[in-house]
Amino acid sequence: MVSTTNQLERREFVEISRIKITLRMRRTDEDRIRDLAESIKGIGLLHPVSLAEKDGDYILLAGFHRIGAYKLLGYTEIPATVRESDELVDQLVSCEENLVRSELNAIQTAEHIVKREQLLIALGRKAVVGSNQYSESKITNEELAKQMGFTRRTYQYKRSVANLNEEAKDLLCETKFAENLMDMVKLQKEPDHIQIEVAKLLASGEAKTFRRAWVVAHMKHKQVRWTPEVKSRKEEIGIPKSIMRWERIDNDLSRVCSLVSKSEKTMVKKTVAQFGTNEINNYQMNPEMSKWFLNFYSKEGDLILDNFCGRGTNILTAAILGRRVVGYDLSVENVSLIKQVALAHLEIKDEDLILHRSCGVELAEYASDESIFDLCLTDPPFIYGMEQYGNDDPRDLCLIKDVQSYNIQMERCLLNLKRLIKPSNFKTKTFHPIVMKVGSGRRGETGLVDMATEIEIIARKIGLVVHDKIHNELSSVYQSYNLRRCIENGYTVKSHETSVVMVKY
């Protein structure tokens, strides 16, 4: 029985044996066929199969599993919508026949998959994203994948290669490199200029492997991603590493800092060595280390805070680099000499150099302020009073001998710093950190206390984010003095400190 629907299509029953399935890679979903057969037995076939008539044969456009269900039920004919063969059908047949050719590479396969989808859509047989594909009984990508014997993910991988830049396709299509599916999948995710560069390297033979071409192309275009600001910072700081070592350099910076650090008014003896003949003074921060952090995390004109400024290395270095500075220390000698040296030897205005002989924990002078500092770079007294500063002020952290009391004061300090530091923004790569250099301490059977760990715990508790940690390699004369005791007690000589970098978002 034949019923005409329009000039292009007609409805009729067609002998199943006369239907040609062009895509020889079709795979059968037996469960689906059985489910369809049960449905057809109960309520009949809801949607006829779709065929095209060509040279006396019927070519299947849609309905592969429905044909299987009819065969399972023993039927020899099936309802069909038949259209005359035309250019679109001819192209579809050619495309599907090409897809089963084993010699197609990844690029050719991708182009045929996309072309096949376009033809099926033009013929009204494939679902378009957003349409009611199930009620319309149109083919989905998942079904197309099954027909070719692929999982949906594999089908998407193969299809995605069609996204390659056209010039890259032309260069690679006739090479052996186009045969590697995953290399082509990886390449199509890159920007056009990288795709083209990789393709040129491979097609010319300049690179013998895909990996080599990938690396060379990225290295060649690496500078495209470097902004002038980042380039400038790279020149200033070199390569920022998680373990850094700064040598002490005899230059104008170190000489200015030594006017304070080596003054008889500010130097404090730590111990003596060599049977009392060699004095070892309190550790002095390296100006090159201060310079590195200031260049990394601030720019000229920024407002810098050191709330435990000691003998002023951070303050003086920041002033030399054109920053505005605020410093805190409990020693009147330190505060007085830092200001005297800075104003006498540096080009810093008096209003840009604010020093408080006050508590760096409380920061009382800024009790009503918020988000005013661009960077806090500080070196608080170490735990267990590892170094004494000759100060009997009860607010001095170096007088605290137990971990719990020290951490209480440090939490108060970090809460104030969190309030005063400007917020950071990771999306815009704007960072205003609190950089705190800390060490460790030991007390016999109580073991090792790592201040970096204690600071991290406090920071997370109060809502600061630990952005980074830099280990600073030390080379101190105190290490030699302490060697015997370390070996006797079975632990290593302390040869590093840690700078914990914290931000608020």
Strand 9-15 to 2-4 pairing:
antiparallel
Residues 304-325 have pLDDT tens digits of 999 999 999 999 999 999 999 9
Domain co-membership, 48 together with 68? yes
For residues 443 and 313, the model is more confident at 313
Whether the pLDDT of residue 136 is over 50: the answer is yes
Q: How far apart are CA 483 and CA 147, in angstroms?
A: 74
d(CA 187, CA 214) in angstroms, rounded, equals: 9
- pLDDT for position 66: 86
Q: Are residues 91 and 148 in the same domain?
A: yes
Q: Is 191's pLDDT higher than 80?
A: yes
Q: Confidence class of residue 469 from pLDDT cuts 50, 70 and 90?
A: very high
What are the strands of the beta sheet with 49-54, ordered from one edge?
2-4, 9-15, 77-84, 49-54, 57-62, 19-20
332-383 tens-digit pLDDT: 999 999 999 999 999 999 999 999 999 999 999 999 999 999 999 999 988 8
At residue 3, the pLDDT reads 44
**First-to-last C-alpha distance (Å) of the chain:** 74
Give the DSSP letter of residue 397.
G
Last residue of a domain, one of 225, 255, 277: 225
Same domain? For 156 and 168 the reply is no
Q: What is the arithmetic mean of pLDDT over 398-407?
A: 90
CATH number of the domain where residue 304 is located: 3.40.50.150
Angle at 216 between CA 212 and CA 219, to 5 degrees: 140
Average pLDDT over residues 143-161: 86
What would the mean pLDDT of 412-421 be, rounded to a whole number? 98
Q: How many CB atoms lie within 10 A of CB 376?
A: 23
pLDDT, residue 118, reads 86
Highest mean predicted confidence (pLDDT) among 147-151, 219-223, 448-452, 460-464 = 460-464
419 or 27: which carries more pLDDT confidence? 419
> Crossing angle of helices 228-237/287-297, nearest 10°?
170
Q: Check if the beta carbon of residue 70 is closer than 8 Å to that of residue 40.
A: yes
Domain identity same for 288 and 353: yes
Does residue 69 sit in the same domain as residue 188? no
Determine which helix (DSSP H) or strand (DSSP E) holds 66, and give its type and residue range: helix 64-73
Q: What is the pLDDT of residue 220?
A: 84
Out of 135, 160, 185, a domain closes at 160
Q: What would the pLDDT profile of 244-274 be if each residue is shown by its tens digit?
A: 999 989 999 999 999 998 887 665 554 444 4
Q: Is the pLDDT of residue 279 over 60?
A: no
Q: Is 215 a residue whose pLDDT tops 90? A: yes
Same domain assignment for residues 113 and 93: yes
Kindly tell me the burial class for residue 98, based on how many C-beta atoms sit within 10 Å of its own C-beta (0-12, 13-18, 19 or more).
middle
Position 24 pLDDT exceeds 50: no
Is residue 102 predicted with pLDDT exceeding 60? no
406 pLDDT exceeds 60? yes
Is the pLDDT reported for residue 236 higher than 60?
yes
pLDDT above 90 for 82: no
Q: How many structural domains comprise the chain?
A: 3
Residue-level pLDDT at 129: 62
Average pLDDT over residues 416-435: 97
**CA 351 to CA 504: how far, in whole Å?**
28
Predicted confidence band of residue 2 (pLDDT cuts 50, 70, 90): very low
CB-based burial, 328-350: b 16+ in 10 Å, e otherwise: bbbbebbbebbbebbeeeeebee
Percent of the chain's residues with pLDDT above 90 = 50
pLDDT score, position 256: 93
Give SS3 for 202: helix
> Ranked by mean pLDDT, which of 100-104, 383-387, 493-497 comes out on top?
493-497
**Rounded-to-integer distance, Cα 112 and Cα 295, Å:** 55
pLDDT band at 4 (very low <50, low <70, confident <90, very high): very low
Around Cβ 119, how many Cβ atoms within 10 Å? Answer: 22
Q: Specify the pLDDT at position 425.
A: 97
Instruction: Give the Cα separation of 478 and 270 in Å (integer).
Output: 9
Containing structural domain, residue 194: 164-225
Tell me the average pLDDT across 124-152.
72
Across the range 434-439, mean pLDDT stands at 95
At residue 354, φ and ψ (nearest 5 deg) are -115, 115
Do 139 and 179 reside in the same domain of the chain? no
Closest CA to 236 of 303, 311, 300: 300
pLDDT given at position 399: 87
Q: Read off the tokens for 438.
A: 């800390």
Task: Tell me the backbone φ, ψ of residue 16, rounded to 5 degrees.
Answer: -60, -35
Average of pLDDT values for 382-389?
A: 69
114 and 194 fall within a common domain = no
Within 10 angstroms of residue 392's Cβ, the number of other Cβ atoms is 8
User: Residue 487 pLDDT > 90, yes or no?
Assistant: no
Specify whether 60 is located in the same domain as 113: yes
Q: Is the pLDDT of residue 68 over 80?
A: yes
The three-class DSSP label of residue 12 is strand
Cβ neighbours of 150 (radius 10 Å): 18
CA atoms of 31 and 298, how far apart (whole Å):
66
Residue 54 above 70 pLDDT? yes
Question: Could you tell me if 367 and 414 lie in one domain?
Answer: yes
Q: Could you tell me the CATH number of the domain that includes residue 87?
A: 3.90.1530.10
Please choose, from the candidates 70, 65, 53, 69, the residue with its C-alpha nearest in 3D space to the C-alpha of residue 19: 53
The pLDDT, as a whole number, for residue 305 is 98
pLDDT for residue 100 is more than 70: no
pLDDT at 27: 52
Residue 241 and residue 312 in one domain: yes
The mean pLDDT of 182-194, rounded to a whole number, is 95
Please report the pLDDT score of residue 131 as a whole number: 55
The last residue of a domain, from among 136, 160, 184: 160
Residues 218 and 71 placed together within one structural domain of the fold: no
